[in-house]
Amino acid sequence: TMSGQEIAEWVMNNRASLNLKYVIWGRRIWIRSRDLVKPWKSWSPMEDRHSITQNHW
């Protein structure tokens, strides 16, 4: 079973075939046009929106 973090990294690594511009998971965002491929823990942090759903968990 894959964790959410592993799935987010898989999505990032397969961005071209999925035609994605960005990936959000666990209050972190990776944007294709500005970020290099890197581990989820290195993605840009997002503000705490005080909700599991809005924080993308």
- Give pLDDT tens digits for 14-46: 999 999 999 999 999 999 999 999 999 999 999
The whole-number pLDDT of residue 57 equals 85
DSSP string, 24-46: EETTEEEETTT--S--GGGSEE-
Region of 8 (left: φ > 0; alpha: ψ -120 to 50; beta: rest) is alpha
- Taking the C-alpha atoms of residue 36 and residue 50, their distance in angstroms, rounded to an integer, is 28
